[in-house]
Structure 1
Amino acid sequence: MDRSLTLAAVIAVVLTCCSVIGSGEQLGARECEELGFTGLALCSDCNALAEFVKDQELVEDCHKCCTEDSDDSISKLTFSGAIVEVCMRKLVFYPEVVGFLEEDKDDFPYVEARYSYGSPPKLIMLDDKGEEKETIRQVPLNS
């Protein structure tokens, strides 16, 4: 599978918040933020992430920072958009992100690119008002 398509699939999965049950010990808000998670992700998002990113440590960190899923539909998080934030100088280390930004981003009109000096790749999820609600660190998808 093309790496840029895999990144596109990860973004689509995160935006649609697929459901699968997750578990694990919880970390504090500060530790989660340092890992690139805000604690707003549903644990099912971590399982969906595991299908596309074969980094067990990242998935375990996600589970330590997620919110348990509920059968109550009100508790399900949805996002209206996303920002792919990355440092221009670090892009050479993330060909999957480059591929997505150059070839596939136009297929996702609700996703924009933001270039921030020194920032590792991350996906910032937005609510319907355009406010940042969750940050998910990105890793190379070929691991």
Structure 2
Amino acid sequence: MSVDAKVAQFLQSDVFAVAGASSNPDKFGNKIFKCYQQKGYQVIPIHPLEKEIEGVACVASVSDLPAEVVSISVVTPPAVTEKLVVRAAEKGIKNIWMQPGAESPAAVAFCRQQGINVIADGTCVLVRFGCRH
């Protein structure tokens, strides 16, 4: 499947989540979260400690996401991504977009084995959506 087709499938979710969302405007987790907001998407931040990011209540983990979230952007270190994809598969997440620097061969292989649509080729939400960063 082409990257365009993978992105199109990813965007079929009604609600999105950003794992590694941050309240720090200098971090990519914040920039990517705000990019979804700027484009009019409903998005939920995932952060284990933060209560709210950019005015939206956080959930502590993938397991806490509502059922309508089937697409997650991941902005975490590769070791965290590897654990996160296992929880995402258990939750029924269908699409995972690993932002540049978040991917690992093990996480990508796991997603493929689970039949999860994975974008992990260096394609960035900020560039793809035309958000300034």
TM-score (norm 2): 0.30
- Give 1 or 2 for the bigger CA radius of gyration: 1
TM-score (norm 1): 0.29
Kindly indicate whether structure 1 or structure 2 has the higher relative contact order, using CA contacts under 8 Å at least 6 residues apart: 1
User: More helix by proportion, 1 or 2?
Assistant: 1
User: More strand by proportion, 1 or 2?
Assistant: 2
